[in-house]
């Protein structure tokens, strides 16, 4: 079966996010007001083949922990869906 995982890798809430801070500070220069906070991370779309949803979920977990996220600075969340 084929699965698609939509993964978000974001900097920990406790940490300063300089990229997000810069965007937040500069939105008003392009006439966009009312934005109080911006956090920027990565979005990863992973397409994979697996026997079951449980296997797919385990593969995505491993990929996040070993390769996609730096767990010292980032956390990850993902959703998984089966595609035909």
Residues that bind its own copies (CB under 8 A): 2, 6, 8-10, 20, 23, 26-27, 30-50, 56, 59, 62-63, 66-68
- Of the pair 33, 72, the CB lying nearest its own copies is at 33
**Nearest-5° angle of CA 22, CA 24, CA 8?**
90
**Backbone Cα Rg of the chain:** 16
Q: Rounded to the nearest whole angstrom, what is the least distance from the CB of residue 73 to its own copies in the complex?
A: 15
Q: Rounded to the nearest whole angstrom, what is the least distance from the CB of residue 11 to its own copies in the complex?
A: 10
Q: Rounded to the nearest whole angstrom, what is the least distance from the CB of residue 25 to its own copies in the complex?
A: 12
Residue 11, classed as helix, strand or coil, is strand
CA gap 9, 11 in Å, rounded: 7
């Amino acid at each position: 079966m084929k699965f698609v995982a939509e993964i978000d890798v974001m900097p920990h809430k406790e940490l300063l996010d300089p990229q997000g801070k810069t965007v937040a500070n500069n939105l008003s220069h392009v006439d966009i007001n009312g934005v109080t906070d911006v956090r920027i991370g990565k979005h990863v779309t992973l397409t994979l083949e697996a026997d079951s949803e449980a296997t797919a979920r385990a593969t995505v977990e491993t990929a996040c922990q070993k390769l996609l996220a730096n767990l010292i600075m980032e956390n990850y969340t993902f959703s998984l869906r089966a595609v035909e």
